[in-house]
Amino acid sequence: MCGIAGMVSFDGNPGSLEDLHRMCAATSHRGPDDYGVYADEHAVLGMRRLSIIDRATGRQPIRNEDGTVWVVFNGEIYNYRQLAKELKRAGHTFYTDSDTEVIVHLYEDHGPAGVEKLRGMFAFALWDQRRRQLLLARDRFGIKPLYYGEVDGRLVFASELKALLQLPQVERRLNWSAVGHLFSWLCTPSKESIIEGIHKLEPAHMLVAASGRAPKLQKYWDLEFRPDRGHSEQYFAEKLAALLRESVELHMVSEVPVGAFLSGGVDSGSVVALMSQLSSAPVKTFSIGFPEQDYSELAHARTLAKRFGTDHHELVVEPDVVEILDDLTWHLDEPFGDSSAIPTYLVSRLASQHVTVVLSGDGGDELFAGYDKYLVERSERRIERLPASFRHALGVASRLMPAQMRGKNLLRHLSLPGPRRYLDALTLFRLEEMRRLLHPEAYRLIAPTDAGAELESLLDGSGSDWLSSLQSFDIKRYLPLDILTKVDRMSMAHSIEARVPLLDHELAEFAATIPAEMRLKGTTGKYIFKKAMRGILPAETLERPKQGFAVPLGRWFRGQLRGYVRDLLLSDVCRRRGVLDPWYVERLLQRHQTGGDLDLHLWTLVSFELWCRTFLDPTPARNWNMVSPLKAVS
């Protein structure tokens, strides 16, 4: 696991090593073990390394045999041993035992299409010196991040946005389209960052930039739900169990200690159960909970830890989290509306005291239909059987009702067409609410953006049935923008690598062939996944109702954190920023105190304000953990 950065200019002025040094130093937490640089007249590449595979000889950047192709790489390639054997038979000579080296040799034989042979999580930059060509690539699900942009005629890239902000030429201007997306969906868009002109490389995409040609974006993979109704439930359950076991085994390969996050649910429990079968020593597991028992899964995690004989560690989170919020903001890199980043940060800190690699159960709900919202959507779809005139009348009735009248929002919601209704349930601030939340000028900048239209088109065109369509949407949007962003940033904040065996793409491709009625059967989500785990997980775990990774922020914001939130959002600094309307913020605070469920609304505003103070406002330079002297190879 690493942090990568670089600059390329086809006119011969890629940027200074000092600039690259600052970029890499900004992400030193991603790779505290080593620092390497490549430089020539057109490109400078840098990386910070967290040594996990081939710790002795796997120092990056990695080259091909004649030194004309160089790569900096963040992630893990789980089939690298098989690929290395094939490449050696094809005549390639390896000088390391690392997974990184297979990338340069695949490129030599297959060009950019070589990325399709990689099985793992990755973001890498490959420089072809002879062709003067840069290849950027990101893994299929977006487990590893990659930002890029064009600055003064140079193409610049990095694992984190803060690295690019070290370049004086990058103007710290808000991207108002991304701000609107944040306030609507709790995160910034898949293609853009919160900073104008800096983009995200989307999952399953690569970018090829070469001298004399415009940069070209290309999608190299897609997960298509194609139900295979020619097999029984037993067939799907048995093959799924075998694929999951294989994936967990691949994800356990490491030269450093490996552990697992354990929530007490089906997904993380399955990973831990299989790790325990495959490991000769007790698996180290890490759990987090809250004093509020209705939010805490610690008891369930303890049950599983005892069942599988793990070396278990846990932490109870108290509402005194203010002391970590500045560090949390720094590592999140962009404003982020999912408050579960807080416990993820803390459980990662706990794990870092014992291991360098952790496996997590993320991805199971998206792949196997585990979210309760799928049950809600199935129930609400019944209203579509009613005449369109009736649904229209519901909308008219909702508009005529007083603002605070009970049932007004439900009628408005049920009057919407299918895709728009599903999106409506996921929306934080709707456009009319943003009009009141924002100062007029800020709203004017955001209002032209209708993020819902683009997202609605994804729901209309994805999948072979309504459930597949929703899952495909969540896999392409919610999973990379929220879940995987949170896990990557919070684990890397503590220099540990989080791996997600449920998101092995071969496992996912098989999951996409399971018929919808076997994924969601009756009121049972993840039906076939649970069937596959029978006999491996205890019955009480498989049958327990789903409990999300929620944080009791609502209670904290009414209690110990009430003054902190008010002081932050109504401060002179926040008022002078001219983005939020203090009158409406005051109203939100009052509504929350009187029982309104506005914890995520307030947390998103808190996250945005803290991000502005950290990255936009003039502040003393952060300690970059400088490494010197600089060493470059060419």
- Residues with active-site annotation: 2
Alpha-carbon distance values, 6 to 124, 170, 319, 584, 589 (Å): 11, 14, 40, 43, 44
Q: 141, 479 in Cβ contact below 8 A?
A: yes
Token pair 């944080």 is found at 551
Instruction: State the burial class of residue 401 (Cβ atoms within 10 Å of its Cβ: 0-12, 13-18, 19+).
Output: middle
What CA–CA distance (Å, rounded) separates 171 from 150? 12
Q: 611, 334 in Cβ contact below 8 A?
A: yes
Token pair 């994804």 is found at 458
DSSP bridge partners of 258: 357
Q: Which amino acid is at 384?
A: E
Q: Give the SS3 label for residue 69.
A: strand
Tokens standing for 480?
A: 């990379």
Q: 182, 337 in Cβ contact below 8 A?
A: yes
Q: 348, 341 in Cβ contact below 8 A?
A: no
Q: 326, 385 in Cβ contact below 8 A?
A: no
Backbone phi, psi, residue 332, to 5° = -65, -25
DSSP bridge partners of 70: 63, 127
What CA–CA distance (Å, rounded) separates 204 from 139? 5
Q: Which of 393, 429, 363, 424 is nearest to 587 (CA)?
A: 429
Alpha-carbon distance values, 84 to 95, 121, 391 (Å): 11, 17, 60
